[in-house]
Amino acid sequence: MRIFEDINPLQAFLRSKKANQENIGFVPTMGALHQGHISLINASKVENDITICSIYVNPEQFSNPTDLVKYPRLLQEDIKMLEAASCDVLFCPSDKVMYPERPKLKIDFGFLETTMEGKFRQGHFTGVAIIVSKLFHIVNPDRVYFGQKDLQQFLIVKQINNELSFNLQLQCVPIVREQDGLAMSSRNSRLDKKERLTAAQLYQSLTIGKQNLLVTENVFDTKNKMAHYLSAFNDIRVEYIEIVDAADLNVVNDITQHEQVALCIAAYVGNVRLIDNILLFNID
């Protein structure tokens, strides 16, 4: 695997690949890789000649400074995992390379920013949009791979892709779960043993919600059932439970009026904030 820390040598390398008509799949990450990330690498390898992964813990998207400090940084382990997955290129820039100056830009995403994660993480999506746009310019990929766990992030990136004419093919790859259903996340490593066991209840509440919603078609009752289920666990503090249209996050009242519906949750398990979601129809 070729590893680049600077932009110019990376771009020279990628230009030479493009000149050979090789297409480029891109997996942007913040490292602390797990099988969820590897599923994105695998998806890219199927569809592209060259797969590039970036690892950069983007300070601009952290609204909570403690979260940034505590974010796991495991570059050597990550490199081993990427090599085992036959990733072709790793881009792991420093803060200086990515931000010679702190960005001043603020982006207003309208409704998408006022709901779910946007409500609880001020400035988060502007930070995501800036780093993703910079990476898109630097890498100039054909296809980019994101995980469904961050559904709202995927929709934000879709909006940037359309409105800023990046014209990239964006792929949303299904969530990879631990055996007990917990969605894989770099944050899971911060859970202690007891919290780790409890964390699986988030997925449990989503499956209870999905079954209830399919049977009753009652959104209000479903959200209540999920909240009631989780209230039995002292370590869990729910921030939101939302049942939304998966294409735009608009609140769903009548599930029969939507092509795809997502049940979404954000909750603290101990001091670790986790998010998860499940799709109502077919796929999950």
- Which residues are catalytically annotated? 37
CB 236 within 8 A of CB 269: yes
Q: How far apart are CA 170 and CA 186, in angstroms?
A: 22
Residue 161 binding ligand PAF, by CB under 6 A: no
Q: How far apart are CA 94 and CA 43, in angstroms?
A: 27
List, in order, residues 6 or more apart from 189 with CB less than 8 Å away. Answer: 32, 72
Binding ligand PAF (rule: CB under 6 A), the pick from 53, 107, 128, 199 is: 128
Min separation Cβ 31 and ligand PAF, Å: 8
Residue 144 binding ligand PAF, by CB under 6 A: no
Closer to ligand PAF by Cβ: residue 124 or 210 = 124
Q: What angle do CA 281, 125, 140 make, to 5 degrees?
A: 90
Closer to ligand PAF by Cβ: residue 153 or 205 = 153
Residue 28 binding ligand PAF, by CB under 6 A: yes
The span from the first CA to the last CA of the chain, in angstroms, equals 33
Min separation Cβ 138 and ligand PAF, Å: 13
Min separation Cβ 50 and ligand PAF, Å: 19
Map the footprint of ligand PAF across residues 227-246, applying CB under 6 A: none
Binding ligand PAF (rule: CB under 6 A), the pick from 88, 113, 150, 242 is: 150
Q: Contact region for ligand PAF (CB under 6 A) — 25-33, 71-79, 115-123, 270-278? A: 25-33
Closer to ligand PAF by Cβ: residue 107 or 255 = 107
Min separation Cβ 242 and ligand PAF, Å: 19
Closer to ligand PAF by Cβ: residue 16 or 162 = 162
Closer to ligand PAF by Cβ: residue 74 or 197 = 74
Residue 113 binding ligand PAF, by CB under 6 A: no
Letter string b/e over residues 110-144, b meaning 16 or more CB atoms within 10 A of that residue's CB? eebbebbbbeebeebbbbbbbbbbbbbebbebbbb
Q: Which helix (H) or strand (E) holds 66?
A: helix 65-70
Binding ligand PAF (rule: CB under 6 A), the pick from 38, 79, 132, 279 is: 132
What are phi and psi for residue 82, nearest 5 degrees?
Answer: -70, -40
Q: How far apart are CA 83 and CA 101, in angstroms?
A: 32
* Diameter of the chain measured on Cα atoms: 59
CB 135 within 8 A of CB 27: no
Q: Which helix (H) or strand (E) holds 96?
A: helix 95-98
Residue 131 binding ligand PAF, by CB under 6 A: yes
Backbone Cα Rg of the chain: 19
Closer to ligand PAF by Cβ: residue 34 or 224 = 34
Residue 78 binding ligand PAF, by CB under 6 A: no
Binding ligand PAF (rule: CB under 6 A), the pick from 39, 44, 51, 61 is: 61
Looking at the chain, how many residues does it have? 284
Residue 64, SS3 per DSSP: coil
Residue 58 binding ligand PAF, by CB under 6 A: yes
**Which residues here bind ligand PAF, judged by CB under 6 A?**
28-30, 58, 61, 128, 131-132, 150, 153
